[in-house]
Structure 1
Amino acid sequence: MIDWAHFTPVSALVGGLIIGLAAVLLILINGRIAGISGILGGLLTPSRGESAWRAAFLLGMIAAPLLWLALAALPAIQIEASTPLLIVAGLLVGFGTRLGSGCTSGHGVCGLSRLSPRSLVATVLFMGAGFATVFVVRHVLGGV
């Protein structure tokens, strides 16, 4: 159920526009896809001339919310899951990005905008897995 009291379409739209602009600029200026798993993976196994832009991109992703935190009051973040469950979830996401040859940002934002059939299949599978997981956790397991 949508929490209409806290629904923020304007900030979501602005955030989406900023993500889209970053993806467009990266492909126009650098000829690279803004897939976060690929950017991070390329930083962990660096190639000549590839580390600076990758590090800058990832630092920007870290700095932006910190800057927002310094300038505005952010709501308290509540994570209703145990640490072991979060670790397992993170490992599953990492496995999925390797299995799917990319992450939601690479396939969902950049791949779909380039009309990539592989990205369409990957995004449908990502979303389907997410829907199924929420259903199982909320209705089968009773909200772990």
Structure 2
Amino acid sequence: MESSPQQPPLHPSALRRKLLWVFALPVVLVVVVIAGYLARSGSDAGGGGGEQDEIRKTVVDFSIAVDRNDNATVLSMLCLQEAEGVVYDIDSPDDHGDPQAELIPITVKDVRVTGDIAEVQVSRPQQQPATLFLRKENGSWKLCDPERYRR
């Protein structure tokens, strides 16, 4: 009987590192930027931030999920198009990672919203600043790198 050669599965730690490199840099940058912005602005009792505050919070929450290797949360925060493209590259898509993991500060600034698409500048210590894109899906802002290529 002839059997087709079977590729060995990627070791979970290798797959996790691959996922981190795909998401960590932009996410880490976003978290640093948002945290810095929130720290500078203090509590915004007057409101007025609306969607921009919602977008900043989404980016910070996403970076926290990446820092914690929380695959389930990371996937839930991606737009459908991007999530479909990475779900099979993740060794444990339901894993919630390490809630005790060290969080890297993120700064989020220059939030620009055009309809259901947002663009933000993020930075984190020891990383180059990056631009992240988000898309509003079903009333929630989702990280959505494919929007970068639609411009």
Q: Same fold (TM over 0.5)?
A: no
More strand by share: 2
TM-score (norm 1): 0.30
More helix by share: 1
